[in-house]
Amino acid sequence: MLAGFATIIALIALGTLLAQLRVLDLEAQRVLSRLAFYVASPALMVVTLAGADVHQVLSANLVASAAAFAVTAGLYVLASRLAFRHDLARTTVGALSAAYVNAGNLGLPIAAYVLGDAALVAPTWLLQLLVLQPLALVLLDVGVSERRPPLRSVLLRPLSTPLTVGSLVGLALSLTGARVPSLLADPLELVAGMAVPAMLIAYGISLRLGPRPGTGGGAAELTVITALKVVVMPATAYLVGRFALGMEGAPLLAVTVLAALPTAQNIFVHATRYDRGVVVSRDAIFATTALSVPVIATIAALLTP
């Protein structure tokens, strides 16, 4: 668990250092974010999903994870509508900041080191990649459009989003058992390897050159998002898993720990791409990453069979 957090912190610190030394600036941060969004992340989706067992998506773990996301995101949407008065795109970024977990570069090491089985993260990972992320990107596209697009355009819009296309290609490869020819697989893996470092370095640049965490406004909203992410979401996963699905022991520990993971870094990339909620998504990642360490440690101590 600590190794997973240490890796993330090291790359964020590198981005901050490069910004401090004026090697990279805010324009470089935008370039890195666009590179991650349009190029590296789609390649990562292909590589990741092609090697995943998508049949694991049909499990109690998935049901509990989906319920935790729905409750947490729903509560944020309610708060956004009643208190913050955000538009669709801004509300989408806030909901993702509250309920979209870092199942990749943090979920995998935590599943391996804390839960003892890296495959336990697969249902959450696939749910986010194949359902939640494409849906969120559609909402963001619609939200930033000046005119309300026709229904046909909305339905076809995911096919024009690189991340969704990459996820669908990876899913097709997994279901069919097909393999990418090595002539293409090797460069694809190299490009995919840029995704997480580019996200984290861009995030580190923003921490140094943008408003400091907690000083960019929206303290009340950040508090709501943080509480939803580190308290409400794991509590919901536990309650649904324990009392609705009858889970116990290691499976219940797994679904609770995974729900307590911090906000994923790619939410900051999406916020930057659509220019909505950039500061609050950045601050949510910072706050939930810091708080998730003691929260996950506590959950592991209480629920470890």
What is the 3-state secondary structure of the chain? CHHHHHHHHHHHHHHHHHHHCCCCCHHHHHHHHHHHHHHHHHHHHHHHHHCCCHHHHCCHHHHHHHHHHHHHHHHHHHHHHHHHCCCHHHHHHHHHHHHCECCCCCHHHHHHHCCCCHHHHHHHHHHHHHHHHHHHHHHHHHHHCCCCCCHHHHHHHHHHCHHHHHHHHHHHHHHHCCCCCHHHHHHHHHHHCCHHHHHHHHHHHHHHHCCCCCCCCCHHHHHHHHHHHHHHHHHHHHHHHHHHCCCCHHHHHHHHHHHCCCECCHHHHHHHHHCCCHHHHHHHHHHHHHHHHHHHHHHHHHHCC
C-alpha Rg value of the chain to the nearest Å: 18
The token duo for 1 is 């668990």
Residue 36 CB neighbour total at 10 angstroms = 28
Which range among 116-130, 169-183, 216-230 shows the weakest confidence by mean pLDDT? 116-130
* 136 to 1, 109, 146, 168, 299: CA distances (angstroms): 28, 26, 18, 16, 29
Q: Which is more confident, 37 or 21? A: 21
Give burial (CB, 10 Å; 0-12/13-18/19+) of 10. Answer: exposed
Which range (81-95, 157-171, 254-268) has the least confidence? Answer: 157-171
Is residue 223 within 8 Å of 84, Cβ to Cβ? Answer: no
Domains of the chain: 2-303 (1.20.1530)
pLDDT at residue 274, as a whole number: 93
**Residue 64 confidence (pLDDT):** 95
Q: 8 pairs with which residues across the strands?
A: none
276's tokens? 């909505």
For 54-108, the pLDDT digits (tens) are 666 567 889 999 999 999 999 999 999 999 999 999 999 999 999 999 987 678 7
Least confident among 25-29, 112-116, 139-143, 287-291: 112-116
For residue 129 the two structure tokens come to 């990649």
Quote the pLDDT of residue 160. 73
pLDDT tier at 214, thresholds 50, 70, 90: low
Give the per-residue pLDDT at 32. 94
Spatial separation of the C-alpha atoms in residues 265 and 118, rounded to whole Å: 20
Spatial separation of the C-alpha atoms in residues 96 and 141, rounded to whole Å:
15
Which pair of tokens denotes residue 178?
């097909």
pLDDT at 31: 94
Burial environment of residue 239 by CB neighbours within 10 A (0 to 12, 13 to 18, 19 or more)? middle
- State how far the Cα of 31 lies from the Cα of 40, in Å rounded to an integer: 12
Predicted local confidence at residue 8, as pLDDT: 83
Q: Is the pLDDT of residue 2 over 90?
A: no
Taking a C-beta distance cutoff of 8 angstroms, is the pair 6, 155 a contact?
A: no
Which range, 62-76, 149-163, 180-194, 216-230, is most confident?
62-76
